[in-house]
Amino acid sequence: MDHSDPYLTLYYTDALDANAYAYDVWTPAFYGPIDSTTLNMYLDGVVIWAVPHYGTLMDIMMQEILMAYLDGGGDLFITGQDIGSFMVYNCTMLFYTDYLHATFVQELDR
């Protein structure tokens, strides 16, 4: 998992604990950005990429690392507040459409 919000961490770790799944938590504020070598250690599992809020940047380098992970057979669950609109405006369309197989429809009025 990659995120820095402790409440978001608990949301996922509580569910994983309740179902007896083994997991690791990657905290970028402590470890720095994850690299492809580390991410590829999880090719036999699922990576939960939890983005805590809209303003969290996912730069081109991180998109390339995630694309390489997916190309290597990795499984990715990506989640976060307003993640669809964030990604369509801040990520490459290649990553959004070809790797996540996502289509952005519209933002919700709040």
Interval 88-97 mean pLDDT: 77
Q: Which residue has the higher pLDDT, 43 or 11?
A: 43
Most confident of 10-14, 71-75, 88-92: 71-75
Q: What is the pLDDT of residues 31-74, one digit of tens each?
A: 888 899 999 999 999 998 887 665 455 678 888 899 999 999 99
| pLDDT recorded at residue 21 | 93
Of 77, 71, 73, 110, residue with least CA distance to 94: 71
DSSP conformation letters of 1-69:
-B---HHHHHHHHHHHHHTT-----B-HHHH-S--HHHHGGGTTSEEEEEE-STT----HHHHHHHHHH
How many CA atoms are closer than 13 Å to the CA of 38, on its beta-carbon side?
A: 13
